[in-house]
Amino acid sequence: MIHQQLICEVSSTSVINSFSNSSCKSLVISDSEEYIELKFNTDSLQQLAEMIGCLSRLHQLLQEEKKQEMMTQLKSLNLAFSLPNFSDIHQENSQTELPF
């Protein structure tokens, strides 16, 4: 028996579905013109999970690098600033946020 699950609707014409049976899982990405089907068994699902973990870490590192570049640019402007929790950029001794 094949089990189908709609994972998400990307747009009005594009969806991602998951199909599974006892031997494998399939991920189908489709729109009105074409589709791609990725089939996974237990081993390849583990490899996929590891790849997603690596890509997530790479994304995190790239975001941190962007923050470091921004801090370097701000320092080059000789502005005093602090980065509380790396989420909001404030000028020191001021409640005014910098427009980033």
Q: What is the C-alpha end-to-end distance of the chain, expressed in Å?
A: 52
Assess contact for 19 and 3: CB atoms under 8 A.
yes
Please report, as a single letter, which amino acid is at residue 90. H
Please give the average per-residue pLDDT across 71-80, as a whole number. Answer: 79
Percent of the chain topping pLDDT 70: 57
Q: What is the pTM of this model?
A: 0.41
pLDDT at 49: 78
Sequence-distant (6+) residues with CB within 8 A of 88 are 97
Q: Does position 91 have pLDDT exceeding 50, yes or no?
A: no
pLDDT score, position 13: 62
pLDDT digits (tens, 9 = 90+) for 6-42: 556 556 666 667 667 766 777 777 777 777 777 777 7
User: Which residues pair with residue 39 across a beta bridge?
Assistant: 26
* % of the chain at pLDDT higher than 90: 1
Quote the tokens at residue 24: 């494998």
Q: What is the mean pLDDT of residues 64-72?
A: 88
